[in-house]
């Protein structure tokens, strides 16, 4: 379980580091000049290409992993991630946007293998009833990585790049700040892959008499796959839109806006930790104790993210505890709504889907000073969506059906490719706020799946 948690951390960090690079890419490749009027659309291709890999390889990776095993599937994934990471160096050196997108695609293909292997493995490690709790725990550690990644991208990559451009540096010199982080990522992943070769993992073996393709005949698999499409699309699309929302409607600096997306992902992390506790098998007393600790931790997360930053190349810390208090209050609401769900996966998912419909709609209708907080709060209620949709989608399956079902469901993570690009096109052609109608539709479907579509037929 510890090993699988580390894999979730790796692909969480890589995914969100790429998402956070959207604004850096606009600066480095000067997309406003290359594609006037469509710079948001082409910047969103960073997300589009990354998540398109899920459409291309999720189903294939499921079949390959069924043949070579989970461990070898993880090793293949790590090798591809490392290869993609190293390809960023030549792409940035020659300022080739197509090559840059190609590097993202290779890296994303590796992440597809990691995710296709990891999710069913965690589900199969214990009883089906506690599968959402196990997935929430691993997703919580994934959430730690997704919180750290945009924060590091903002203060270590985007901030120095913006400063370099202000000081008269060329686009090439600003782009150079992208190289080293990916070289480091690639090197760390190579070391992990070498270590995994020597780790013994138990294989999950199902009933060989059951045809693996039979999973595709079960409605909950297909409806769950559409749910994953909507969830990932809405999550990534909203996260990508937040930085544009802050810079265009509140005149916030780009590096500060990217840093604050860590609040969105921080809420996701806190919600997953709360979910792993409340959906687990602990006594009621321990659940409340651990939840209280997590809520206090939420205060410090919000306080630190809003207080720390980089200015003129120097790390600064301007204490802003009021933001920690706001973050704490949102976390308490998240906790109370999770209690309302009574630990039942589909009920909790339905409540959170409806909550996010309301929050994104509020971001659309209300003044940006208030709408900002509504959109940042969406991360909290995204927290349990992936593990709950996944566990409901693979409910009542034989272990031998899991790789194909997992591949099918993970194929629909392509929603993270389609939805942000659609939102980027709407932003360019209509308005930034109009693009928020897309995730509202996505969360409406998730609510339907939770309350009706997930029923076993």
Cβ atoms 367, 257 nearer than 8 A: no
pTM above 0.85, yes or no: no
Which residues, other chains included, contact 446 with Cβ-Cβ below 8 Å and sequence gap of 6+? 227, 230, 231, 234, 349, 353, 356, 385, 389
Rounded distance between C-alpha atoms, residue 301 and residue 89, angstroms:
33
CA dihedral 313, 314, 320, 325 (to 10 degrees): 80
When divided into structural domains, the chain yields a total of 1
Instruction: Supply φ then ψ for residue 311, to 5 degrees.
Output: -135, 125
Rounded distance between C-alpha atoms, residue 195 and residue 374, angstroms:
43
Rounded distance between C-alpha atoms, residue 420 and residue 20, angstroms:
13
pLDDT value at residue 212:
56
Strand partners for 311: 314
Label the pairing between strands 314-317 and 308-311.
antiparallel
Q: Using DSSP, state whether 310 is helix, strand or coil.
A: strand
Strand partners for 315: 310
Q: Give the torsion sign (CA, 82, 85, 91, 96).
A: positive
Residue 276 exposure: Cα atoms within 13 Å on the Cβ side? 19
List b or e across 369-406, with b for residues whose CB sees 16 or more CB atoms inside 10 angstroms. eebbbbbbbbbbbbbbbbbbbbbbbbbebbbbbbbbbb
pLDDT value at residue 81:
92
Given the structure tokens 């780009």, which residue do they identify? Answer: 254
Domain that holds residue 153: 2-453
Given the structure tokens 């505890």, which residue do they identify? Answer: 321
* Count of residues in the chain: 457
Cβ atoms 407, 62 nearer than 8 A: yes
Which residues, other chains included, contact 302 with Cβ-Cβ below 8 Å and sequence gap of 6+? 263, 266, 323, 324, 325, 326, 327, 328
The tokens describing 442, both together, are: 């996505």
Q: How far apart are the first and last CA of the chain?
A: 32
Cβ atoms 367, 245 nearer than 8 A: no
Instruction: Supply φ then ψ for residue 275, to 5 degrees.
Output: -65, -40
Which domain CATH number covers 198? 1.20.1250.20
Which residues, other chains included, contact 268 with Cβ-Cβ below 8 Å and sequence gap of 6+? 143, 146, 147, 379, 380, 382, 383
Which residues, other chains included, contact 169 with Cβ-Cβ below 8 Å and sequence gap of 6+? none
The tokens describing 271, both together, are: 């919600």
What are the tens digits of pLDDT across the range 326-385? 889 999 999 999 888 877 778 889 999 999 999 999 998 999 889 999 999 998 999 888
Mean pLDDT taken over the chain: 80
Rounded distance between C-alpha atoms, residue 342 and residue 344, angstroms:
5
Q: Using DSSP, state whether 20 is helix, strand or coil.
A: helix
Helix runs in 125-205, H state only: 131-152, 159-166, 171-175, 179-197
pLDDT value at residue 192:
84
- Residue 233: name the closest of 5, 70, 444 by CA: 444
Spacing of C-alpha 373 from chain mean position: 19
pLDDT value at residue 82:
92
H-run or E-run covering 317: strand 314-317
Here the contacts of 25-30 (C-beta below 8 Å, separation 24 or greater) are 25/97, 25/100, 27/158, 27/161, 27/162, 27/165, 27/171, 27/174, 27/254, 28/92, 28/95, 28/161, 28/171, 28/174, 28/175, 28/178, 29/95, 29/97, 29/100, 29/171, 29/175, 30/171
What are the tens digits of pLDDT across the range 430-455? 888 899 999 999 999 999 999 887 77
Residue 178 exposure: Cα atoms within 13 Å on the Cβ side? 32
pLDDT value at residue 232:
92
The tokens describing 359, both together, are: 């929050």
Which residues, other chains included, contact 67 with Cβ-Cβ below 8 Å and sequence gap of 6+? none
Q: Which residues of the chain have pLDDT under 70?
A: 1-4, 19-24, 26-28, 30-31, 120, 123-137, 139-140, 150-151, 154-175, 201-215, 255, 309-315, 398-400, 403, 457
């Amino acid at each position: 379980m510890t090993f699988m948690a580390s894999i979730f951390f790796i692909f969480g960090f890589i995914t969100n580091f790429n998402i956070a690079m959207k604004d850096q890419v606009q600066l480095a490749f000067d997309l406003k000049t290359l594609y006037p009027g469509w710079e948001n659309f082409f910047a969103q291709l960073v997300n589009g290409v990354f998540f398109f890999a899920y459409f291309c390889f999720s189903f294939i990776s499921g079949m390959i992993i069924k043949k070579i095993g989970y461990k070898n599937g993880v090793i293949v994934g790590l090798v591809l991630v490392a290869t993609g990471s190293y390809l960023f160096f030549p792409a940035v050196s020659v300022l080739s946007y197509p090559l840059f997108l190609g590097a993202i695609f290779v890296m994303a293909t590796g992440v597809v293998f990691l995710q296709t292997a990891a999710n069913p493995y965690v589900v199969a490690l214990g009883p089906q009833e506690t599968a959402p709790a196990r997935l929430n725990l691993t997703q919580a550690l994934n959430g730690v990585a997704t919180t750290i990644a945009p924060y590091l991208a903002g203060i270590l990559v985007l901030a120095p790049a913006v400063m370099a451009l202000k000081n008269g540096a060329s686009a090439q010199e600003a782009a150079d700040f992208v190289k080293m982080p990916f070289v480091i990522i690639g090197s760390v992943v190579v070391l992990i892959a070498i270590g995994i070769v020597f780790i013994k993992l138990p294989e999950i073996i199902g009933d060989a008499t059951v045809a693996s393709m039979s999973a595709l005949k079960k409605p909950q698999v297909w409806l769950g796959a559409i749910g994953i499409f909507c969830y990932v699309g809405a999550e990534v699309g909203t996260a990508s839109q937040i930085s544009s929302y802050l810079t265009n409607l509140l005149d916030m600096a780009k590096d500060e806006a990217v840093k604050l997306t860590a609040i969105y992902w921080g809420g996701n992390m806190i919600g997953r930790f709360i979910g792993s506790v409340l959906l687990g098998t602990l006594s009621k007393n321990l659940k409340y104790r651990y939840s209280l600790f997590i809520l206090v931790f939420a205060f410090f997360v919000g306080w630190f993210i809003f207080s720390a930053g980089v200015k003129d190349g120097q790390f600064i810390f301007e204490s802003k505890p009021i933001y920690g208090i706001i973050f704490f209050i949102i976390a308490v609401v998240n906790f109370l709504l999770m209690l309302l769900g009574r630990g039942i996966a589909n009920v909790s998912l339905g409540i959170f889907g409806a909550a996010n419909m309301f929050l994104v709609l509020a971001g659309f209708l209300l003044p940006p000073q208030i709408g900002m907080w509504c959109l940042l709060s969406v991360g909290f209620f995204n927290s349990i969506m992936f593990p709950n949709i996944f566990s409901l989608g693979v409910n009542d399956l034989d272990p031998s059906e899991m790789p194909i079902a997992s591949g099918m469901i993970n194929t629909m993570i392509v929603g993270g490719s389609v939805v942000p690009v659609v939102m980027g096109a709407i932003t360019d052609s209509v308005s930034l706020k109009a693009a928020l109608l897309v995730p509202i539709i996505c969360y409406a479907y998730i609510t339907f799946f939770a309350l009706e579509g997930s029923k076993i037929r």
